[in-house]
Amino acid sequence: MALLKRVGRAAGCGLFALTLAAPVEAGAQDVARGAQLFDTCVPCHGANGAGSLDRRAPVIAALPAWYVATQIGNFKAGRRGYHPDDAAGLQMRPMAMALFTDADVQAVAAYVATLPPVPPTDVGGGDAGRGQTAYAVCLACHGPDGMGNEQLKAPPIARQGDWYLVAQLDNFKSGRRGSAEGDVTGMQMRGMSATLADQQAVQDVAAYVRTLRK
Amino acid sequence: MSHDTAAHAAAHGSVWRRWVFSTDHKVIGCQYLFTGMAMAVIGGLMSYVFRMQLAWPDAPVPGYGVVSPGEYNALVTNHGSIMIFWVAMPVLIAALGNFLIPLMIGCDDMVFPRLNRLSYQIFLLSALVLLGSLAVPGGGFGGAWTSYPPLSAKGAYNLTPYGAPLWLVAVALEFVAFLLGGINFVTTVMNARAPGMKASYIPMVVWMIIIASILFMASVGPLVAGAVMLLFDQILGTRFFDPAGGGDPLLWQHLFWFFGHPEVYVVLLPAMGIVAEIITVFSRKKLFAYNTVLLTAAGTGVLSFLVWAHHQFVAGIDPRMAHLFTVTTLLISIPIAEMTFVFIATLYGGSITFPTPMLFALAFIAEFLIGGVTGIFLGSSGTDIYLHDTYFVLAHFHYTFFPIAIIATFAALYFWFPKMFGRMMNDTLGKIHFWGTVIPFNFIFIPLFITGMGGDHRRIYSYENFPMQMTPFLQELRIVATVSLVILLLFQVVFLFNFFWSLFRGPKAPANPWRANTLEWTAPSPPPHGNFATMPSVYRGPYEYSVPGRADDYWPQHVAN
Amino acid sequence: MIEWLVPEASTYARDIDWLFTSIFLTVGFWFLLAQAVFFWLLFRFRRRDGVPAQYITGEEKAEKRWISIPHALVIACDVFLIAATVMVWRNVKQVLPPADETIRVIGQQWAWTFVHPGPDQQLGTEDDVTEVNELHVTNGTVYHFELTSKDVLHSFSVPAFRLKQDAVPGRIITGWFQPTTIGQYDIQCAEICGIGHALMPARLYVETESAHAAWLRDRQA
């Protein structure tokens, strides 16, 4: 698909040269470059950013640009995807390293933010009722609707598949994520995840977050 | 039988019947030729895209855009696959074999014309499947043309769940096409030679295509079986190559290279044959030591089955095995060196002229020498530890494959164009094209030998993460290679113009413009259905040039005295 | 000649570079000779009016010498190169000197994991130090490495060591090296392993004994 798309893009190349000559809003150019760079993400996250359970790739469509940029930065710097047992993280880290400049990181993040939201894949399980109680801890940052809070650097979690929430909570609990120097929010999350006693509690929270989606 | 079919086709004379569903060996040869040329353009443009990425990483490539790592892998994989399976094989073996064999051995058509047509149709299908595999969700296969499992065996690893099986199906179909073609070639030469054509009177290019076909048929069987097993691994979930299920990834490597190394000689030998025909004609000399050439070709063929594991020195085979394969690999240098010496010796005492086909044939010898001698570095297991999968390997095999598939093919096209299409190509444009091809070619791959010695590994889309590789010196070499490639590609426009302009507007060619001996030049240009007005008989070998005591400096095979 | 481009940082790097140079000189001689003869013939026997080509079959004994003598010389060169190759290969890949320490190297999509023996110099004990994409070794120590892969083929390549070995899932392949030069070097993957193939760069740190000990302490704190 990607190669075929490129043939079409080649046809549009002349037009692109023209648009470069005209004064264009900087943001629009970012998104255009981000759209091209996004090809690196497509094999796992899909062209619409819907992710893939098989590839252990989360939904990224419509994630806020600040969060995407921060996490790509974390992966690049080895603050995430640093643990030998974090197989998915070790696959994501090199992909983040394919963005060689901060401008390219921002461009991809800007493009990801423009992708329309998509419903995630769930695997089910867990008790949403019990999860609601546990969610009280999360509420302060991620909000009652699970849509996050930019000031507190909390990402929206309500649009994520339950398997991904479980995987990340496990990562936080075991130190596969959030124990690297410089990952301030990750370290906070390590503390929060410790309040979940066991695997059942983790699944319950994920089950509750599932109910937050409209 | 074959003549009836041809006459039948001619009687029905519609364009459709004459050009698409023809069983005439010349038409099928041209179908292979044009399909191969179209694929060469596609493969060449792919190399443009990934070389641009290497020279100016992450910048949008003009006409393409930014190259992502996955696309880069798909581009290099399909460039390699296309150039070997869909350019070198169809043009050197199928196109020239189909066109030349019946004409050069003096018969009216292949002995199995319908099998021949089927062979092309399967080949065309394989090309379409391959091109289609670039457009499926997930994109084209990116696991290298060697397609090593487990990467190639599981969509979860290669991330091209549709591209990988389609690539494999395309390759398997292509093998089937060439198996059919090979059977046809061998049978035709065994059974349909003109009266009087002894084995030692067969032109060298025909011998070489036959030996190549036999090599191909003998080596491809294990790989076809391997391809089916890999396809099962991909789509049925068998585990032939998966260690977790008791399989072995190295099994594929053995099957692949058992075919893959003879394959090098499958394309090399026809190229050598082409060069033998052309240098004898343009130096007006008898081929030096005909029997020796034949023996070295046969020796190369036999040895080529015993060298495959030199591709696997560092792949995890038993280290003691490496010695055996080093010995066989270095031994194969002997017949190949000898064949080269024979060609050089043929020039001695000649009366050499330099029209375009001769320039390309001579360039083949000069350039192939570089490919040959650099092979020693890689056949030696000790140096291969360092050089394996670096750009040194890449430059080495491009110094063999480019002379084979491009330079020798151009020599053949310029040489036989008058016979194929009944018109002459422009020699001045041909010479411009020659220098515009051969000079940039060296400026592409000499720098890449050096980057390979400097530690550049293959199939790396960007060296920005490797401080030792991202030096200004190595980067400048990469840029030199890329700029040279662009120049080389631009000069191919001269060829395409010359080719198509001459096809319609070139001066009419006489039957024997080069005053050559072999039988195809006794047929009209272009030869009609059935090839010869009167079927020729053969009285002597193909290289009786400058025989003392004769008025002419050539003595065609069919002339009684 | 390779040493002009890449530093020699292991004991056998010098052997491999020597072999490379030997081959270069041998085949370089043949190459120049063949090209010189070739171009001289083209010049000497270019077409001239009134000078016909000679009729030489190449089947006479005297003529065949032009092929058979170079043929014998090529065999002699091959024998020399084979002997040199066998020596180098035996030393690098076949006969492993006794190890001072053993490390484990694991490839996966798309990272290298290195398990270092801790201060006790024994692998598989409590104090092992596991690192992603960083390999720390002591200068002068003879190391064995146990190489494997978790998913697809990778190839553990350290150009400065002239070391390359494929990592095969389901197998543990043992090899060796002895660093000779302190510094930082690239570790590359040399076998295509998917879309992240170019993006699994690891670093090799060849350190003095005291620096290595300090690093180990730091990692265990």
Q: What is the pLDDT of residue A6?
A: 52
CB-based contact B383 C70, cutoff 8 Å: no
In this complex, which of C41, C48, C195 lies closest to B142 when CB atoms are compared? Answer: C195
Q: The whole model's pTM is what?
A: 0.92
Whole-angstrom Cα distance, residue C210 to residue B137?
54
pLDDT tens-place string over residues C7-43: 999 999 999 999 999 999 999 999 999 999 999 999 9
Whole-angstrom Cα distance, residue B163 to residue B77?
11
Residue of B nearest to A15 (CA): B63
In this complex, which of B64, B159, B160 lies closest to A6 when CB atoms are compared? Answer: B64
Residue C157 pairs with which residues in a beta bridge?
A: C164, C188
Distance from CA of C195 to the nearest CA of A (A): 8
Pairing of strands C202-207, C134-138: parallel
- Is residue C70's pLDDT more than 50? yes
CB-based contact C111 A94, cutoff 8 Å: yes
- What pLDDT band is residue B19 in, cutting at 50, 70 and 90? confident
What average pLDDT does chain B have? Answer: 93
Identify whether C4 is preceded by a cis peptide bond (ω within 30 of 0): no
CB-based contact B68 A40, cutoff 8 Å: yes
Amino acid type, B366: A
Report the b/e string of B63-75 with b at 16+ CB within 10 A: bbbbbbbbbbbbb
State mean pLDDT over B370-389.
Answer: 94
- What pLDDT band is residue A197 in, cutting at 50, 70 and 90? confident
- What pLDDT band is residue C120 in, cutting at 50, 70 and 90? confident
CB-based contact C132 A97, cutoff 8 Å: no
**Residues of chain A found within 8 Å of residue C133, distances taken between Cβ atoms:** 78
pLDDT tens-place string over residues B323-342: 999 999 999 989 999 999 99
pLDDT tens-place string over residues B176-213: 999 999 999 999 999 999 999 999 999 999 999 999 99
Q: What is the pLDDT of residue C64?
A: 86
The answer to whether B329 faces chain C, any CB pair under 8 Å, is no
In this complex, which of C113, C130, C196 lies closest to A94 when CB atoms are compared? Answer: C196
State mean pLDDT over B276-286.
Answer: 96
- Is residue A87's pLDDT more than 70? yes
CB-based contact A36 B60, cutoff 8 Å: yes
CB-based contact A55 B159, cutoff 8 Å: yes
Q: Which two tokens stand for residue C176?
A: 């060796």
Helices A13-21, A2-11: crossing angle, 10 deg rounding = 60
Interface of B with A in 144-183 (CB under 8 A): 156, 159-160
Q: What is the pLDDT of residue B30?
A: 94
Distance from CA of A134 to the nearest CA of B (A): 35
- What pLDDT band is residue C60 in, cutting at 50, 70 and 90? confident
- Residues composing chain A: 214
CB-based contact B151 C193, cutoff 8 Å: yes
- What pLDDT band is residue B9 in, cutting at 50, 70 and 90? very low
Whole-angstrom Cα distance, residue B258 to residue B501?
43
Instruction: Please report all neighbours of A, defined by 3+ CB atom pairs within 8 A.
Output: B, C
Q: What is the pLDDT of residue B17?
A: 73
- What pLDDT band is residue C121 in, cutting at 50, 70 and 90? confident
Q: What is the pLDDT of residue B12?
A: 53
CB-based contact B71 A42, cutoff 8 Å: no
Cα B314–chain centre separation: 27
Tokens 């496990």 map to which residue? Answer: A170
Amino acid type, B415: F
State mean pLDDT over C69-81.
Answer: 91
pLDDT over 70, % of chain C: 100
**Residues of chain B found within 8 Å of residue C30, distances taken between Cβ atoms:** 337, 373
Three-class DSSP category at A121:
coil
Chain A, chain B: beta-carbon pairs less than 8 Å apart: 64
Q: What is the pLDDT of residue B81?
A: 96
Q: What is the pLDDT of residue C125?
A: 87
In this complex, which of C45, C85, C186 lies closest to B382 when CB atoms are compared? Answer: C85
Residue of A nearest to C111 (CA): A90
What average pLDDT does chain C have? Answer: 93
Whole-angstrom Cα distance, residue B99 to residue B31?
10
Cβ pair B249, C191 in contact under 8 A: no
Distance from CA of A92 to the nearest CA of C (A): 8
Distance from CA of A44 to the nearest CA of C (A): 10
Three-class DSSP category at B438:
helix
Q: What is the pLDDT of residue B62?
A: 94
Cβ pair A126, A204 in contact under 8 A: yes
Give me the phi and psi of C60, to 5 degrees please: -75, 155
- What pLDDT band is residue C58 in, cutting at 50, 70 and 90? confident
- Is residue A63's pLDDT more than 60? yes
- Is residue A16's pLDDT more than 90? no
Distance from CA of A170 to the nearest CA of B (A): 23
pLDDT tens-place string over residues B442-470: 999 999 999 999 999 999 999 999 999 99
Residue C143 pairs with which residues in a beta bridge?
A: C101, C177
pLDDT tens-place string over residues B481-518: 999 999 999 999 999 999 999 999 999 999 999 999 99
B157-161, long-range: CB within 8 Å, 24+ apart, which pairs?
B157/C109, B157/C151, B157/C152, B157/C194, B158/C194, B159/A43, B159/A44, B159/A55, B159/B70, B159/C194, B159/C195, B160/A43, B160/B70, B160/B74
pLDDT over 90, % of chain B: 91
